[in-house]
Amino acid sequence: MTGSLSRLRGRVREGESCNLAEVGTSKLRNLPDSPSLTLPRKREGEPVNSTLILPMNTQTAVRLHGPSDLRVETVPFSPQLAPNEALIRICATGVCGSDLHPYETGSIGSTVLNQPLVLGHEFSGIVVEMGSDVENLEVGARVAVDPAWTCGQCRECRSGHQNLCRQQRFCGLAPNDGSLRGRIVAPARFCHPVSDAMSDAAAALLEPLGIALHATDLARIRVGSSVAILGAGPIGLCLAQTVRLAGASPVWIYDPLEYRQYFAERFGALPLPQNVEADVVIEAAWARESVQRAMEIARPGGTVVLVGIPFEDSVTFSHSVARRKGLTIMMSRRMNHTYPRAIRLVESGQVDLESLITHRFPLQETPQAFEMNAKYQDDVVKIIIENSP
């Protein structure tokens, strides 16, 4: 059901900018051990360079045409909002490991790219227009958008497993365009308002935090459980924080990239010792040999949670190792109702998302950002794309 724009409640004035309080020069390093680094600030209400605003019927989008073929393009965009939808001007997008799969191979899991696709599923923005039935938002509200648009009607949705909904549309996964563009139309119920205590970038990173929260839920961590995390990428670093909040101690982390191992210690994770056994092992890497490693590290009766997505759409591990230990193996898919919790954890300062960010690029330089991330150059951990000028 669609309605005309004239039925909509209102729109943000042309030129109203995203909250870019934390946004500075592109590619500026923002490591936590550089406290003297102050980023140039854009004040609230400061006008956006009007030459960068496109006509309403087009927008800039970064589309993947094939392996390693990202193009910055001007594409048609004439949104017709349904009564329950909102038009969002996107402020920030996080580049995710799962974006690198289709970038490098043209596919992810069993989903193959067969037409140009806008990637991007970790994002935040500002509500620009709303459909007539939208109750939970206001024009001008800053929102984080849950990219998994579930049907809300099916058996899985109604039984509390929205992440398993088979009708869900996921932003940035073919055939659904994602957030590496100027604006997006989203169902309002997936738009979560955030306070000004949270930056646009942190609001975008609520998505990987939600992945970590869901995996932490599945792990059923008890106070004092030892937890080993394999992979110190953004998900692993979020996990280091969420499992500690869940009571895990000690929390070990392993990453073959030395700089990431070092980086992880800032989040309270200890280097994984040799020949140690953990009550819970969470695989948050590329699901290759790390899956076998997870089975070896788990103690008898322990739990292994698999979060990483393999390139090859299959994993192998020694059956006898897992069987003899009687391991509980949990497959983690996306997240389940985690945005409200994630927002509270960040706004209260219990989880630090800002410190994950090592690089920022403007939307026009997204191809360079992906190239850097795919090659793990310049000690990259998390890249934020600044969608709005």
Residues that bind Zn ion (CB under 5 A): 96, 122, 150-151, 154, 157, 165, 167
Nearer Cβ to Zn ion (79/172) = 172
Burial status of residue 57 (CB atoms within 10 A of its CB: 0-12, 13-18, 19 or more): exposed
Nearer Cβ to Zn ion (150/355) = 150
Smallest separation, CB 373 to Zn ion (Å):
12
Closest CA to 307 of 383, 376, 202, 228: 228
Burial status of residue 206 (CB atoms within 10 A of its CB: 0-12, 13-18, 19 or more): buried
Tokens for 4?
């005309």
Nearer Cβ to Zn ion (71/158) = 158
CA 270 vs CA 234, 273, 285: distances in Å: 16, 8, 17
Q: How many whole angstroms separate alpha carbon 93 and alpha carbon 178?
A: 10
Q: How many whole angstroms separate alpha carbon 295 and alpha carbon 326?
A: 10
Smallest separation, CB 192 to Zn ion (Å):
16
Nearer Cβ to Zn ion (53/151) = 151
Smallest separation, CB 234 to Zn ion (Å):
8
Nearer Cβ to Zn ion (100/154) = 154
Smallest separation, CB 247 to Zn ion (Å):
26
CB 228 within 8 A of CB 253: yes
Nearer Cβ to Zn ion (165/228) = 165
Smallest separation, CB 236 to Zn ion (Å):
13
Nearer Cβ to Zn ion (173/298) = 173
Nearer Cβ to Zn ion (63/334) = 334
CB 7 within 8 A of CB 132: yes
Nearer Cβ to Zn ion (132/167) = 167
- Tell me the CB-side half-sphere exposure of residue 204, using CA atoms within 13 A: 36
Smallest separation, CB 184 to Zn ion (Å):
16
Smallest separation, CB 94 to Zn ion (Å):
7
CB 237 within 8 A of CB 267: yes
Smallest separation, CB 47 to Zn ion (Å):
32
Closest CA to 101 of 367, 309, 314, 363: 309
Q: How many whole angstroms separate alpha carbon 128 and alpha carbon 268?
A: 39
Rounded (10°) angle between helices 206-219 and 339-347: 110
Quickly count helices (H) and strands (E) in the chain: 10, 20
Smallest separation, CB 75 to Zn ion (Å):
23
